[in-house]
A and B are shown apart, each in its own frame.
Chain A
Amino acid sequence: MIPGGKKIQNAGNFEIYLITDYQDQDIRHFALADALVLDWQQPDHATALLKEIRASFIESIYLLPVFIFNADGVVSDTPKSLSDGELSVVQEEPIGKMIRQVKKRREDFTPHETNSSENRILTKLFRYMYTRDKTLNPEVDVHAHMGYEYPLIRLHYPAGESMEMLKILRRGTENDFFQGIFVDKTHVCPNCHSGHLNLREVCTKCASAHISSENLIHHFVCAYMGPEGDFVTKQGLVCPKCNRQLRHIGVDYDKPSVIYRCHDCRHEFQEPDITALCLNCKTVTPVEKLLEITLDKYSLTDLGRDAARTGIKVAGEEREFTIPGFVNFSTFLTFLRFEIERVKVSGKESQMGSVSLNLPARLRSNRQQFERLVLDISDFIRNNTDSSDILSFANDNTFFMIFPEKGATAVEKILNDFRSSIEKLLSNTFEDEPEWNLAAQYETLNAETEYNALINQVKTI
């Protein structure tokens, strides 16, 4: 049962829930469902929940078929692209079809671990696209910083980090996981990457936008050439040189070009400059200096589908941190399983702790600096744990520890020490950062502990 959800009857063997109440929804409950139908009476809440589902790293959550039930009103592009479809009546048929397809495709997946957050995002993306045969499309979004959005990847990047977001797509294409098909181009402010620009023709001399243009007229028979205003009389267009009436364009006259006049500095010119005023940061940029961004529609290649099934294997990228005294994450999971079996047999309790750094992408962009930082933290953790404790570092983000029979109070104290010391270390490394988003927590391992549930939980950390 899902709080706030109604199970849809007549849905065969499937657990399909209609969500109408968005108060205090916890997406972890959805791991048990086969599909969700979101009632679109409260679009903002529904959209937020949908985003939360797709942002999860737990496969059974982010791959969940989610439909929008919308009897009236309009659904905007972003939620539409994050959902599996819109329904005007709740019917089992399309939902069941999607459930069966996603289930079938998921059977191809083998477990995948990576210590690179980029690879983690890409693998997730591939799996989502693979289960749905979906392409990744740029969506027009007036609320987006760039004016365009790839909603699925955006979930993993803060609003200001559009370039980082595009970089990961480019990497997917460079490694032949994606095939990009041109959709459109857009131009953004080189200063802040905003796509909200005011383009206007301006004077070539004083850059004022207060300019106007006039056609130039060539009167063939007398070769007079001048602005249209020279010809305008009450009798129509009359040539100021030969006094003949202009009758028929292309026969006795034509308009071969235009002239612009600046009302501020009186300058005359034929080709105005075009500049863009950024509505976000107010920077004025000549159009030729704007940053041009190609918006492709991405679809999975054969290599991309392979990567969806087995995870990304790129030479170099998959290189694990070799941290002295630390085991890699899959080994850690094996230890964890053994520990759970052990406490079940012995009837004792152990703890599993974790500390997540949650650093923004820009702080991770200097790889050397980041790795040095991680090594420093590892040193500290190793020096303040027992040699019987099992340590690991995963996803470029989280330190995991198994504390056999240490006791919850001791573990809590240890983790608090770690948190404050790591924060201090971070502040020394990145002097300008005002605050940190460290997360430290622990789970007690005892006879009740379900290995699979714990693993799912670990992966969301």
Chain B
Amino acid sequence: MIDFWQRFFDFWLNVPPERIVRLFWYFFLLEVPRYLLFDLVVVVLFSLKRLWNSDTYQAANNQLFAENPLISIIVPGKNEGRHIPKLVQSLTEQTYQNYQLIIVDDGSDDNTPFICRKLEKEGKIDLFLRNEERGGKASAANLALRFSKGKYIVHLDADTSFDRDAIEKILTPFYTDSEIGAVGGNVKVRNSKEAVIASFQAVEYLQTITMGRMVASYLGIYKIVSGAFGAFRRDLVERVGGWDIGPGLDGDITMKIRKMGYRIVFEPRAVSLTNVPTSLKKLSNQRFRWSRSMVRFRLRKHADVFVPDQNFQFRNFFSSVENLFFNVVLDALWFYYVIRLAINNPDIIFLMIVMKMFLYGMSNFVQVILVSLMSERGRQEIKLLMYIPFMSIYDGYYLRLVRTIAYFREWLASSSYDDAWNPRKSSVQAKEHHL
């Protein structure tokens, strides 16, 4: 062990810096600029802008409460009954109260209808709609949309809960700028203490959601208003005909609203908490699904953003290219990089792995500190720093592997059409009509 560290330091201290950069070109040329430097700059700019606009923001907030529009909170889901009482409670605590709550039960086979009918009787749910047979998440959301009466639609996942001011915070941006069509809420991890793997995801959510979407939003390339917590202008949702068959329906509808020329923004201050998978198997399944949908709707359905016709918008093009590049192309490049490294420098590969963990750790460290500084619950989040040294294993190896497998399977076999996530009747139609 001591021998190893001896060798490790001897080696890296004697290597000229340009060789380090050459060996870790992937990290220094791609990841440091994109995820570290860029983030740093944007976060500073974002904070300054927020400070600069604080008067406008306060005025918008006042205007929201002055108008006090009815909003529709819609919650489609299957077998979510056990979460609903907590969700209802979390909503009754909200600072913004003029909402109607519509819950759609998409063919649950547990006691969900029983729980929800009871809450409906007690007046805690305004409308409970149930499909005896599952129709898929999109149809459930569309049904809720059809019976909603609010000016804004707030779409929630049942297993999510909210900070007291979350609804108020997600609505306020609509009053800062009439060009805003949808607002994404922040999603953080509630059960990070339940398992180490949940803690990793807590860090990941901070990086990819809180930080990642803040940056994307600042740059105007924010792509996915998460179904877990997102707000939409109802008129726009109706204009695009609501949600289409998933998976990837969240990104899909956001994309359509962007295509109509509206802005999509992320509001890091509207905070919801969600439970993440605590077993590797469940986590893998979840990520396979996410990744597949990425290929499916970006490469197939919205391929038109790459075509320079009269509807072409540079932002949408850039947004898709960025996403594809950093997820798909870079993943492929990474494998190329690792294989080349293993062939050319087999003697130092282990030294490099450890060094890489160190470099990534440093980068992650800076990111998490940045997020914690800006966060409303920074004190708790700063504790996640202890997981940073191991993040490169979770992030760099495990997630990358899952993602890549999923991309290739979807690309080669269109496997999401057979995904049990959609009911068979919808999948058949989707496949037939090449959706």
- Give A residues with C-beta under 8 Å from B: 204, 216, 218, 220-227, 230, 241-242, 250-252, 254, 256-257, 259, 268-271
Contact = CB atoms under 8 A, between A and B. Distances in A.
A241 B241 contact: yes
A384 B244 CA distance: 98
A225 B139 contact: yes
A221 B426 CA distance: 6
B202 interface: no
A224 B147 contact: no
A257 B135 CA distance: 11
B19 interface: no
B131 A227 contact: no
B245 interface: yes
A254 B242 contact: no
Contacts of B245: 220-223
A224 B237 CA distance: 12
Contacts of A223: 135-136, 138-139, 142, 242-245, 426
8 contacts: A204-B120, A220-B245, A223-B139, A223-B142, A223-B242, A230-B146, A256-B133, A257-B132
Complex A-B, nearest 3 residue pairs according to Cβ-Cβ distance, in ascending order? A223-B138, A225-B143, A256-B131
A325 to B, nearest CB: 64
B295 interface: no
Nearest to B433: A221
Interface string B108-142: 00000000010011000001111111011011101
Nearest to A241: B241
Interface size class of B (residues with CB under 8 A): 20 to 34
B89 interface: no
Given A257-B130, A269-B127, A218 B139 contact: yes
A296 B120 CA distance: 37
B118 to A, nearest CB: 11
A270 B138 contact: no
Nearest to A223: B138
B385 interface: no
A220 B425 contact: yes
B133 A224 contact: no
Given A223-B142, A257-B129, 11 more contacts: A204-B121, A218-B143, A220-B245, A220-B425, A221-B435, A225-B140, A230-B146, A241-B241, A254-B135, A254-B425, A270-B128
B146 A227 contact: yes
B430 interface: yes
A252 B429 contact: yes
A273 B94 CA distance: 30
Given A254-B425, A257-B131, A216 B242 contact: no
A254 B136 contact: no
Contact of B131 (A218, A268, A269): A218
B433 A224 contact: no
Nearest to B249: A223
A275 to B, nearest CB: 14
Contact of A242 (B107, B241, B243, B430): B241
Name the residue among B127, B129, B435 with the largest chain A CB count within 10 angstroms: B129
A222 B146 contact: no
A5 to B, nearest CB: 65
B135 A225 contact: yes
Nearest to B141: A223
Interface of B: 107, 117, 120-121, 127-133, 135-136, 138-140, 142-143, 146-147, 241-245, 425-426, 428-430, 432-433, 435
A256 B135 contact: yes
B135 A218 contact: yes
A259 B129 contact: yes
Contacts of A252: 429
Contacts of B131: 216, 218, 256-257
Name the residue among A224, A226, A269 with the largest chain B CB count within 10 angstroms: A224
Contact of B241 (A218, A224, A250, A251): A224
Given A204-B121, A225-B146, A270 B130 contact: yes
B117 A271 contact: yes
B148 to A, nearest CB: 11
A216 B121 CA distance: 22
B146 A241 contact: no
A256 B429 contact: no
Contacts of A271: 117
A154 B129 CA distance: 48
B11 to A, nearest CB: 57
A222 B147 contact: no
A259 B147 contact: yes
Contacts of B243: 223
A225 B127 contact: no
B130 A222 contact: no
A252 B139 CA distance: 13
A269 B243 CA distance: 23
A221 B429 contact: yes
A395 B428 CA distance: 79
Nearest to B127: A268
Given A230-B146, A256-B133, A257-B132, A241 B139 contact: no
A222 B244 contact: yes
A268 B128 CA distance: 10
A216 B106 CA distance: 13
B431 to A, nearest CB: 11
B142 A226 contact: yes
A222 B143 CA distance: 12
B79 to A, nearest CB: 16
A36 to B, nearest CB: 59
A446 to B, nearest CB: 77
A271 B130 CA distance: 10
Contacts of B138: 223
A220 B128 CA distance: 21
Contacts of B120: 204, 269
B133 A222 contact: no
Nearest to B129: A270
Contacts of B142: 223-226, 241
A152 to B, nearest CB: 44
Contacts of A204: 120-121
A216 B128 CA distance: 14
A194 to B, nearest CB: 27
Contacts of B136: 223
A268 to B, nearest CB: 6
